[in-house]
Amino acid sequence: MMISQKQLMAVLRAQSEVASAVDRVEEARTNRPTDEAQAARDGDGINLSDRAREVVRVTRALADMPEVREDLVRDIKERIEAGDYDIPAEDVAEKILSRTIVGDILRNDGPET
């Protein structure tokens, strides 16, 4: 399945919002008294699983990645300028069709027939 960069960025933004919320909760937790009995009386607390912590870590790492891979863009520009960049028309048509189908599926319309 093909996911566009726009779709990926939307997911990363949502995950980043979750990570920010987790940060706020953890910050509030560390700024509270460490008396566990007081926390139990207040009914406040949070326990993050190792999996949740890993999701937050990966989300932060992905958010730090550039949206544009400048090295790849530079390489393609150089190949175009040198006349060495050739993409078969069949490959272009296949990408167009696959992205259209994926877009239809993601909109829950299903592929157009």
Residue 3 pLDDT class (50, 70, 90 cuts): low
59 with 48: CB under 8 angstroms?
Answer: no
SS3 2: coil
pLDDT at 77 over 90: yes
E-only strand ranges, the chain: none
pLDDT of residue 82: 95
This model's pTM is above 0.85: no
